[in-house]
Amino acid sequence: MDVPAKQPFSPAERVLALLGLATVFAVLLDISLYLLWFAHPGNDQAWLLYAAGRMLAGTTLYGPALTETNPPLIIWFSAIPMLVARWLHLFPIVVLRGLVSLMIFASVAWCWRILRAAGLAATPIMGCFAVLALLASELAQHGNDFGQKEQLLIVFLLPFLLYAAAAPRVRFGWGERVAMGLAAGLAVSFKPQDILIVVFFELALLITSRDLRRLLRAELLALILTVVTYVVVVRLLAPLYLSHTVPLLQDTYWAFGDMTAFQVVRARSGFNTVFLLTFVALLVFRKRLHGSTGLFALLMATVGAALAFAIQNKNWPYQFFPQQALLCTAIVWLLLDLATTWAERTRAGATLIPLTALCTALSFPAFFYVGHRHAPLVSQSPDSEFLDKTLAANPPGTTVFILSINLMGTSDVLSDGLLWSGRYIHLWMLPALVRNEIALSGGPPARKTLSARRLQQLSELQRSDVTDDLRTRQPTEVVVPHCLATTEEPCQGLYGMSFDILAWFRRSPAFAAEWANYQRVDGDAFFDVYRRTRSQSVKP
């Protein structure tokens, strides 16, 4: 169907447009203040910034001094705000959030341009609603998870998806389409398993169009070329990730997933209900929609995101973000398409009031939803409060280490100017090793069985790496959490069981000898704090 002709804006529409833009600006400013100043920095993002700083200082990525689980692109990306923070003498987390906020604004503006060209945001009212709803889609991330890979994925990928969904009604220039493909290629490189989003999306377009020439689109070819180039660059610049880190992850990282894929899907019953209702709406209104094909493709992209989320076997909120944002985008598409059809069938003056009411009614839930998600985390659990105070008591430049399976404390290390003494962000290999040890001693079988030889090899590697970090970097303070089955937040990967981390490491004579240099000085129900009692020279 042809794109609806653009009508001149009436004075009432101009006023409503200004009010809508003012509202969008106020909401964006409010969210930005929460994100930049009040929300606690996330440990993931803080560690990636810290790791990027180590890399910029000359440390080999995935080498013996810095063992990381994430693919290299997110660390290379984190180097940008880290460099800017150094040049401007700002807090790196603030620079990261500011950069991501600008990227979100650019992504939303690009998406709005696509929707407007497709005739789905032809009036100021609909345009303001589209901008507000897309901002809600891309910003609806917990404050301390702002800037996660999953959010960057959506920011980079959404223009590509909307442009392909709007085709053939929208025809941009070759250069802009290549830029979309480049951004989308970077998006899936941040989170490789989410390539399923693109796969399901393109399959949906092929099924509905029955035209294989769609696979030769400039933006899709640019996406594929970007991903291939990234793989080549990783092999050249970070070969240890593929040769050393990936095998370790395949053998051990599964222990953090305590749910089956089916259990992950069932746990998101609210999302599943909204998805089914949206799909039913597509079936009911498909003959009235200008872009039913595009809506179907967006819903299939949501299915791809849901599958990528489920196969990780972890119901972690920040990993849920892509499918949530894609479903929200599909709903926005549906509402804009229905409003466009309505506007075509009625007089312009008659549609002004109902469209305003519709957009307002849908916008207010978005305000409250985004505001709730970004509320400052003023309340802390007792264990987090103790850890924060313990680390903050050290002067800047103090070397510290947290001998923990959970990810904790890295935001404090970054904000307090401390030095992290471990090569690991946390002991991510340990849960799989413990589970296999329990299975060998007659306990419940592990979800992935390691051979006795491989188990011994990895156990020795985990102990020797930590021992070497203690010996060479000699952290002034080491915090050891308690892994208790009775606590609300037990050690990840060891759910439902109590475990003594120090006892496991002390089975190594080398670790026991090095640990003799530390003495317990403080602690509570969740942590023990140790300080180094004597230093020793280390042979080069």
Q: Which two tokens stand for residue 247?
A: 């095998």
pLDDT tens, 108-147? 999 999 998 888 877 776 777 777 778 778 877 777 788 8
In the chain, where are the structural domains located?
38-373, 382-532
Judged by DSSP in three states, 532 sits in strand
Q: Which pLDDT belongs to residue 373?
A: 46
With 70 as the cut, is the pLDDT of residue 83 above it? Answer: yes
Q: What is d(CA 282, CA 279) in angstroms, rounded to the nearest whole number?
A: 5
Q: What is d(CA 24, CA 379) in angstroms, rounded to the nearest whole number?
A: 29
Q: What is d(CA 426, CA 12) in angstroms, rounded to the nearest whole number?
A: 58
Q: Checking phi first, is residue 62 left (phi over 0); if not, alpha (psi -120 to 50) or beta?
A: left
- Pairing between β-strand 399-402 and β-strand 477-481 as defined by DSSP bridges: parallel
Q: Which pLDDT belongs to residue 375?
A: 42
Q: Give mean pLDDT, residues 382-392.
A: 78
Encode 82-97: b = buried (16+ Cβ within 10 Å), e = exposed: beebeeeeebbbbbbb
Alpha carbons within 13 angstroms on the beta-carbon side of residue 397 total 0
Residue 223 near residue 183, CB atoms below 8 Å: no
Task: Choose among 74, 34, 129: nearest CA to 355.
Answer: 129
Range scoring the smallest mean pLDDT among 37-51, 148-162, 186-200, 405-419 = 37-51
Strand order across the beta sheet in which 527-532 lies: 419-420, 399-402, 477-481, 527-532, 518-523
Q: Which pLDDT belongs to residue 357?
A: 46
Residue 511 near residue 467, CB atoms below 8 Å: yes
pTM: 0.87
Q: Which pLDDT belongs to residue 136?
A: 76
- Residue 478: phi and psi, rounded to 5, are -125, 130
The residue behind tokens 């590509």 is 160
Q: What is d(CA 4, CA 18) in angstroms, rounded to the nearest whole number?
A: 23
Q: Which residues contact 328 (CB under 8 A, 6 or more apart)?
A: 133, 136, 137, 140
Confidence band of 528 (pLDDT split at 50, 70, 90): very high
pLDDT tens, 258-306? 788 888 888 888 889 999 999 999 999 888 888 889 999 999 999 999 9
CB count within 10 Å of CB 106 equals: 13
Q: What is d(CA 43, CA 327) in angstroms, rounded to the nearest whole number?
A: 27
- C-alpha torsion angle, residues 242, 244, 247, 248 (rounded to 10): -130
Q: What is d(CA 172, CA 378) in angstroms, rounded to the nearest whole number?
A: 46
In the DSSP assignment, the letter for residue 38 is I
